[in-house]
Chain A
Amino acid sequence: MTCEETLARLDDLLDGALTAEESAAVRAHLAGCAACAAEHRGLVRVLRAAAELPREIEPPAELWATIRKRIDAGARAPVAQSSRTYRNWALAATAAAAVLGAALIGVVVRDAGRAPAEVATVPAEPAASPTPASAVPAYDELAAVRDHLLGELERRESQLDPDTVREVRENLAIMDRAADDIRAALDREPENGSLQKLLLASYRKQVDLLRIVARLPHEAGGERS
């Protein structure tokens, strides 16, 4: 089985929709192909993240439409040679961004509770960046979610414990520096799958940290989410 055939069957494998024979063939390929195995793990992580989301929270209706539009646009766009990994990561990470975005919106909605007017949404049109890495929508999606949450942090900063805010900012700075270093390396090696993965992980960690901050109670009082 080729990489292309394997990747085309990953969704069905995870859904349990393959026959035993097909499933065995895909698994045999995954066992011997690090690139496809990495794709498989990425999808598993996305699905796990989705499964862990609070079930009572619905993302805004327009969110999925926006993401669907982007995925469709991405699928129609010409794909450069050797960009298979890129595209699949982009799709996985776009889905991850959707999942994270929905989770974050959920958190903000839940946290805001009594003040729904203050709830912001994930920016619909993330700004483009000139580096090759950010040409992939996934990076921009995650960066948009992160920027949105950074705005939330700034809005609530005076209400939070200063020591916690300082710790958060220090760690965000560490991750920013890490992301800058990886981006610089990606400029030199735009097809390096390992660097792409590290960059996505770096963004995801920023989002994870900011997600926790979004749930923090006010220092001066108020209820926890």
Chain B
Amino acid sequence: MRTRIDRRIVSIVAVLLAAAALPAAAQARKTERTVPLDPRGQVFVELFQGSVVAHGWTKDEVRVVASFTTPGAELTVDGSTHEVSIEVEDAHRAGPVAHADLEIWMPVGASFDGEGVKVDFAVDGLAGGDVEIEAVSGRVTVKGDVRVARVEAVSGNIDVAGAIERVEASSASGSLNIQGVRVEVSAESVSGSVEVRAGAPLREAALASVSGNVRFQGDLEPRGQLTAESVSGDIDITLPKSASATAHLETFSGGLRIDAPGVDPRIGETDEPGPGRSARFAIGSGSARIDLESFSGGIALRAR
């Protein structure tokens, strides 16, 4: 008797669950478009919320697969063989508020330009073109040997990795992690951390945070320049032992730690009395320039 009742309950629950799942399955719509694009063309993507994943491929065309969870969401793919514009709009609400997940395949040498509000962006496999992304609260990941990567976010974390000539990244509360940059990098956060690992001696690196920590690991070109500033975050710079730079470190109430060949590690402690410490010294022949400034954050410079 009991077994029969249990079976009946299980059956009812199963039917209810299946009924609940049916509308959800019906709402999940997919659509797909493929259009031609020059190998050096440009793809623009605009989305209000969801995710965008873009891959490089060897075909001279753009393929978009869109999954919608918002009723009334519509995919629009416009443009020419030079530029393709991809947007998702909500036909029911007169505006780009629809939620969608977009997966895009585009020519490996093309450029990508994305704008999103609550959108995670991931771009990989592109080489030679530019990537520009403006997101508000999503996470942004760029992997590939692109020429320039420009990423701006309010609260999302930003990860950029690849043999990229120039990286410009900024986020308010997100953390920035940049690996492999080869010529110039500019990275700025308010409360997030900034971490840069250079892939080659850099011509210019400008790093800043208000309360987040700033870390740099790499080398500079002979006349290259590195500036890092922070208010309360720590600044930590690691150069190779062979580095050649003239360094100026200055902090109002933080500490200085210097570990470089031929430099007295107590150099910052011999400054005038009162608040404020500074040190100026040369590593090697002193050809590059390094300026590190903080208010209360500590500053460490190592050449190992």
Contacts and interface: CB of A to CB of B under 8 A. Distances in A.
B258 interface: no
Interface in B115-137: 115, 117-118, 134, 136-137
B217 interface: no
* Interface residues of chain A: helix, strand, loop or mixed (majority): helix
A208 B97 contact: no
A220 B95 CA distance: 9
A49 to B, nearest CB: 12
A12 interface: no
B293 interface: yes
A217 B95 contact: yes
Given A163-B137, A168-B154, A202-B210, A223 B229 contact: no
Interface in B141-189: 152, 154-155, 170, 172-173, 188
B189 to A, nearest CB: 9
Interface string A87-101: 000000000000000
Contacts of B170: 208
Given A178-B295, A194-B252, A164 B96 contact: no
Contact of A201 (B90, B229, B296): B229
B70 interface: no
Contacts of A217: 48, 95-97, 117
Contacts of A182: 231, 252, 295
Contacts of B252: 182, 185, 192, 194-195
Interface in A184-209: 185, 188-189, 192, 194-195, 197-198, 201-202, 205, 208-209
Interface stretch (A16-24, A118-126, A134-142, A169-177): A169-177
Contact of B154 (A185, A201, A209, A223): A209
B190 A174 contact: yes
Nearest to B172: A171
Contacts of B118: 161
Interface in A66-88: none
B5 interface: no
Contacts of A222: 95
Contacts of B250: 194
B115 A167 contact: no
A28 interface: no
B301 to A, nearest CB: 15
B138 to A, nearest CB: 11
Given A181-B295, A194-B252, A198-B231, A161 B117 contact: yes
Contacts, number: 113
B195 interface: no
A216 interface: yes
Most A CB contacts (10 A, CB to CB) among B96, B136, B227, B253 go to: B136
Contacts of A178: 210-211, 231-232, 295
B136 A164 contact: yes
B96 A181 contact: no
B276 interface: yes
B227 A41 contact: yes
Contacts of B291: 34, 37-38
B275 A185 contact: yes
A181 B275 CA distance: 13
B296 A181 contact: yes
B229 A167 contact: no
A175 B190 contact: yes
A133 B184 CA distance: 33
Most B CB contacts (10 A, CB to CB) among A164, A167, A213, A223 go to: A167
Contacts of A185: 252-253, 275, 295
Interface string A143-180: 00000000000000000010110011011001100100
B94 interface: yes
A216 B136 contact: yes
B169 to A, nearest CB: 13
Nearest to B278: A194
B191 interface: yes
Contact of B210 (A164, A175, A212): A175
Contacts of A168: 154, 172
B172 A209 contact: yes
Which 5 A/B pairs are nearest by Cβ-Cβ distance? Answer: A221-B95, A178-B231, A167-B155, A171-B172, A171-B190
Given A198-B295, A217-B117, 16 more contacts: A34-B291, A167-B172, A181-B295, A181-B296, A182-B231, A189-B275, A194-B276, A205-B190, A212-B136, A216-B117, A217-B48, A219-B97, A221-B94, A221-B97, A224-B46, A224-B115
